[in-house]
Copies of this chain bind each other. A is one copy, B any other.
Amino acid sequence: MNTPAAFTLSDVSKVYSNGTVALHNLDLTVHEGQFVSLLGPSGCGKSTVLRMVAGLGKMSSGNLYWGSSSQRKLAYVFQEAALMPWATVEDNVALPLKLAGLSKSAAREAVQEAIALVALQGFEKAYPRELSGGMRMRVSIARALVTKPEILLMDEPFGALDEMTRSKLNSDLLNLWGQKQWTVVFVTHNIYEAVYLSNRVVVMAARPGRVVADVAIAAPYPRTEEFRTTPLFNDYCRDISNSLSRAAGQTAALHPSDSVSASVVNQPA
């Protein structure tokens, strides 16, 4: 019952020029409309995966195949806020629209909406240096959402946010995703968040970075706060937590490819 593949990373390796093997023979297919969370120990190559998908930097080997959508319809929330220090919040958020050729007035409404989504009304004219860390990250999120992307890559977007804002943005994101049938790849360190949001959780192990678990979260959308209290939710969390521990252990394995095949590889719903 799979939808068509949005993109496929096939046998991808990435060796940085200083010799660090960030990814090693990684295979990953993400299907259209999936909400995939990517978990793994710090430095295991999650950001590198997103960068490869976004076409930032060359792969050392392997291929990236696109389905019907393409890199063109992609938005990316970087791990760092990456705002232009010389531009106001408004202008930072408007950037993707400006680059797409929209006039300022045409962009205004979408920008206002995106800023409202991350609750930064009143700060339109502020410069990044006048914002708190979390606010900066929210500007970055608004900038990604403003384009109405088909594919959304998010690298720990909510890590710097308080629980309230975070859960608000979680449900906002789910709503948007439900409406638009986006494909989302979401890096997070929060297992609960991953399970709550996604219909698939991919766990990576470190150096060389590779997929060690791929868990389908078979719970229906829309998901309410109650979902968080169900036994199913807790089971998934425990399951993934275990995978993560195993992933940490496996890092030291001498033949990483062996252990990959031994891990549970579920297909998404």
Interface residues of A (CB under 8 A from B): 16, 18, 20, 39-43, 46-47, 79-80, 126, 130-135, 138, 155-156, 159-166, 189-191, 241, 244-245, 248
Please name the residue on chain B nearest to A125 by beta carbon: B18
Given contacts A46-B132, A162-B189, A163-B190, 20 further A-B contacts (CB under 8 A): A16-B130, A18-B126, A18-B130, A41-B162, A42-B132, A42-B134, A42-B162, A43-B132, A47-B133, A79-B133, A79-B160, A80-B133, A134-B189, A159-B159, A160-B160, A163-B189, A163-B191, A163-B241, A164-B245, A166-B189
- Chain B residue contacts of A160, Cβ below 8 A: 42, 79, 156, 159-160, 189
Tell me if B163 and A42 are in contact (CB < 8 A). no
Tell me if A41 and B165 are in contact (CB < 8 A). yes
Question: In the complex, A39 Cα to B159 Cα: how many Å?
Answer: 14
What is the CB-to-nearest-CB distance from A196 to chain B, in angstroms, rounded to a whole number? 15
Tell me if A244 and B18 are in contact (CB < 8 A). no
Pick from B40, B165, B189, B244: contact of A42, CB under 8 Å: B165
Question: In the complex, A256 Cα to B112 Cα: how many Å?
Answer: 28
